[in-house]
Amino acid sequence: MRYLLPILTLALLLASCGSKKRTYSATRSPEVTTDSVIVITDTSPAENNEPDIEEPRGKIEAVIKTALTFAGVRYRYGGTTRKGMDCSGLLYTSFMEHNLPLPRTSKLMAQEGRKIGEGKIRKGDLLFFKTGRRNNKINHVGMVVDVNGKEIKFIHSTTSRGVIVSSLDEGYWNYAFVKATRIF
């Protein structure tokens, strides 16, 4: 009896060692806005002498519409055509269709635009993810196509299902989400 407690404790420790269970939380619930105009003001005139900027809503809608035409296209690493495309190829092609150049890779796309807080995400924003087990770098990108209340839907290309629309509420994507940026 005297040895039973230490043996049980040791057994529990051994059973739990090395078994890191990855959990996906769908508890992230950013507040979102669906307004179509943003005005940027800077209180330090030395850094920003530009007038207030209105967002080109028509361009955003056109890029989203183009991206949605690729729904169902199979995944192809490095692809940018209807024969197959990867996540960054989808956005690269959709933006280029409207003469809006973007870098070709998700890692470089993540350096473009300005970072947006989770509570300010809206249509046309780019969402960046870290999806690799051992990869600690941004390696996936999608574009917000719809915001309905607190649910954020984005289009992207996955290796398993090709070009699809997913929700940021889905556990896997919520867990892998890193940041959002606004190009417009």
Three-class SS of the chain = CCCHHHHHHHHHHHHHCCCCCCCCCCCCCCCCCCCCCCCCCCCCCCCCCCCCCCCCHHHHHHHHHHHHCCCCCCECCCCEECCEECHHHHHHHHHHCCCCCCCCCHHHHCCCCEEECHHHCCCCCEEEECCCCCCCCCCEEEEEEEEECCEEEEEEEECCCEEEEEECCCHHHHHHEEEEEECC
Give me the catalytic one of 32, 67, 88, 140. 140
Give me the catalytic one of 87, 110, 144, 163. 87
Annotated catalytic residue 87: yes
Annotated catalytic residue 17: no
Give me the catalytic one of 122, 123, 156, 182. 156
Annotated catalytic residue 156: yes
Would you please indicate which residues are annotated as catalytic (active-site) residues? 87, 140, 156
